[in-house]
Each structure stands twice: as structure tokens, then as C-alpha cells.
């Protein structure tokens, strides 16, 4: 017979193989808790999507109705789909406003991204005296509200002789979008290895060649991100469009759609059709550049 102590040791040894590892218990509990957290996040994102998508869906559906149908059956589908609302909106002036917005938005995006890229390149690749102060000065532009500078801007636009022209909006929008775009592009430029720049200089490249042949092609994600953010701002801006533009031939679509609203009689179907037309370009731009937008925001925030 085995001694009692040896029997105890063998019993402990046999049972020790069946003991559960505490680390495995914690791992299982984490795996069980993860679906709950993921479900809560999914529910929140679903509600957020509904809160954003449903007003757009309501606007699109009611753009195919006439005014009595909108008032009598606001939440229902149209019994007769009036595609003529879009034709009427286009012929009554939306086409002109649409082209004006395209010109203003395109000019703003080109100027903003070009100036911001050059400024970011200088701040990251040249040892400038007062470079930190210049960066701080550019960043300070984020703190100024456009509404607080309406009167000085109005007088400045008048003195420059660009009142009631495209340049009144293009230059104003560019000035307010440069600070954010510079910071985004600068963060991306800091992640580009300096060895590439040094190799290009050894091969006889100039500073402009390095900027156009190396930095610009490698920075497409952040440049497209700047284009999307700038286009979203300049296309939807309303206050400056109302103050700096008075002529119907130059008005962008945001302020031009006010023509469709009358105090006594408003054709809401045509007005909603105009709103749908005004929303299409931004949706198309974002769908085309969404992969660059997400990648640009992710890579542009690596270094500050």
C-alpha cells in the first residue's frame, strides 16, 4: 500500500491537470463581453444613420410631389411621381446657380490645397527663422469665427473691387479653410522620409521638382481629404453668399434657392427638387474619394 502522503500527492497531481487556468477564464469573459459592446456600438451607429438618412429620404420622396400632396400626406410615398419638378427647378434658375457653385467651389479647392501644400512644405522642410511662430500664426486662424469678421470683410471686399463677383467668395472661403488644411497636410508631410528627398537632391533635382514629383504624388490621400473638406464648406456656405453676392447671375445655389420660396405661394415640390440637385455633387464627390478621405485623416494625424 502507498503511504497516505504519497496518495495525497498523487491525488493533487491528478486533479491539478483538471484545474482551470485563470487567464483562460478572463479571456472567455472578454470574448463574452465583446459582442455586447459591439452590439451597443452597432445600435448607436444604426440610430445615427437613421437620424441622418431619413430626412434625406423624406426630402427626395417629397420632391416628387406637388404642394397639396406634401401637406396632406407628408410621410407617404407619392401617388404620382412628378419628375417634372426637377425639370421646372432646373429651368427656373437652378442650372445657373449650380454652375456658379461649381466655379466657386472648384476655385476655392484649387487655391486652398495649392497654398496649403506649399505652406506645409515650407514649414516641414526648411529651417525658417520664426517657423514655430508662423505655424502658431496659421493655427490661430482656426479660432476666428467667420461671423465675427463680417463688417471688416465686407469693407475689404468693397475696397478690393471684387464685390458681387466670384472672387469675393473664392478668396474669403480660401482664407478660412487654409489653417485647417495646412495642419492636415503638414502632419502628412512629416511622415514622409527625408531619405527620399536627399536622394532626389543627389540626382540633381530642385526644390520644386521634389515638391511636385515626390511630395504631391505621395500625398494624394491628404490632398483629396483637403479637397473634400473644402468643397463641403464652400458648397454649403450661406452667410457670405448672401452678403457678398447680390446679382442673380453670380449667386451660388445655397442663396439662389431662396428665389423659390415666396411668402404667400411656395411650390415646395420644386424647391425640394432644387435641394436634392444641390446635394448630389457632394454625395458624388464623397463616394468617389471616400477611401482617400479615410486614409488621409488616419495618416494625417500620425505626427503633429
- Fold category of 92-300 in CATH: MetI-like fold (1.10.3720)
What secondary structure letter does DSSP report for 250? T
More confident residue, 1 or 258: 258
Q: Which residue has the higher pLDDT, 159 or 285?
A: 159
Read off the pTM. Answer: 0.80
> pLDDT for 117-129, tens place per residue?
999 998 888 887 8
To the nearest whole number, what is the mean pLDDT of the chain?
83
Gap between the Cα atoms of 280 and 216, Å rounded? 28
Name the residue among 278, 293, 167, 162 with its Cα closest to residue 230: 293
Number of helices and strands in the chain (H, E)? 15, 0
User: How many Cβ atoms are within 10 Å of 115's Cβ, its own excluded?
Assistant: 16
- Interatomic CA distance for residues 63 and 26, integer angstroms: 55
Report residue 16 as a C-alpha cell.
491539478
Dump pLDDT digits (tens) for 62-115: 999 988 898 888 888 888 889 999 999 998 889 999 999 999 999 999 999 999
Cα distances (Å, whole numbers) of residue 94 to 47, 107, 260, 271: 33, 20, 10, 10
Q: What percent of the chain has pLDDT over 70?
A: 84
Q: 49 exposed, middle or buried (CB, 10 Å; 0-12, 13-18, 19+)?
A: exposed
Q: How open is the CA angle 46-47-51, to the nearest 5 degrees? A: 120
**The predicted structure's pLDDT at residue 34:** 63
Give residues with Cβ within 8 angstroms of 185, minimum separation 6. 116, 117, 120, 219, 222, 223, 226, 300
Domain boundaries, the chain: 92-300
Amino acid at each position: 500500500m502507498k503511504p497516505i502522503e504519497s496518495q495525497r500527492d498523487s491525488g493533487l497531481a491528478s486533479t491539478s491537470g483538471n484545474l482551470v487556468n485563470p487567464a483562460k477564464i478572463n479571456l472567455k469573459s472578454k470574448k463574452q463581453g465583446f459582442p455586447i459592446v459591439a452590439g451597443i456600438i452597432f445600435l448607436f451607429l444604426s440610430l445615427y444613420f437613421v437620424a441622418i438618412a431619413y430626412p434625406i429620404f423624406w426630402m427626395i420622396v417629397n420632391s416628387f410631389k406637388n404642394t397639396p400632396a406634401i401637406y396632406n400626406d407628408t410621410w407617404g410615398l407619392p401617388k404620382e411621381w412628378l419628375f417634372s419638378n426637377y425639370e421646372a427647378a432646373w429651368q427656373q434658375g437652378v442650372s445657373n446657380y449650380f454652375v456658379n457653385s461649381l466655379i466657386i467651389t472648384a476655385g476655392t479647392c484649387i487655391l486652398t490645397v495649392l497654398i496649403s501644400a506649399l505652406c506645409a512644405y515650407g514649414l516641414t522642410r526648411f529651417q525658417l527663422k520664426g517657423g514655430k511662430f508662423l505655424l502658431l500664426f496659421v493655427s490661430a486662424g482656426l479660432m476666428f469665427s467667420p461671423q465675427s469678421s463680417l463688417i471688416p470683410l465686407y469693407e475689404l471686399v468693397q475696397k478690393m473691387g471684387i464685390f458681387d463677383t466670384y472672387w469675393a467668395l473664392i478668396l474669403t472661403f480660401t482664407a478660412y479653410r487654409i489653417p485647417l488644411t495646412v495642419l492636415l497636410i503638414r502632419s502628412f508631410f512629416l511622415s514622409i522620409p527625408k531619405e527620399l528627398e536627399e536622394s532626389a537632391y543627389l540626382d540633381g533635382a530642385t526644390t520644386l521638382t521634389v515638391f511636385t514629383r515626390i511630395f504631391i504624388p505621395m500625398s494624394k490621400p491628404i490632398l483629396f481629404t483637403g479637397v473634400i473638406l473644402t468643397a463641403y464648406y464652400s458648397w454649403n456656405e450661406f452667410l457670405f453668399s448672401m452678403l457678398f453676392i447680390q446679382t442673380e447671375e453670380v449667386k451660388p445655389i445655397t442663396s439662389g434657392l431662396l428665389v423659390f420660396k415666396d411668402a404667400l405661394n411656395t411650390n415646395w415640390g420644386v424647391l425640394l427638387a432644387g435641394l436634392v440637385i444641390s446635394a448630389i455633387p457632394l454625395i458624388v464627390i464623397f463616394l468617389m474619394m471616400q477611401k482617400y478621405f479615410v486614409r488621409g485623416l488616419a495618416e494625417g494625424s500620425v505626427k503633429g
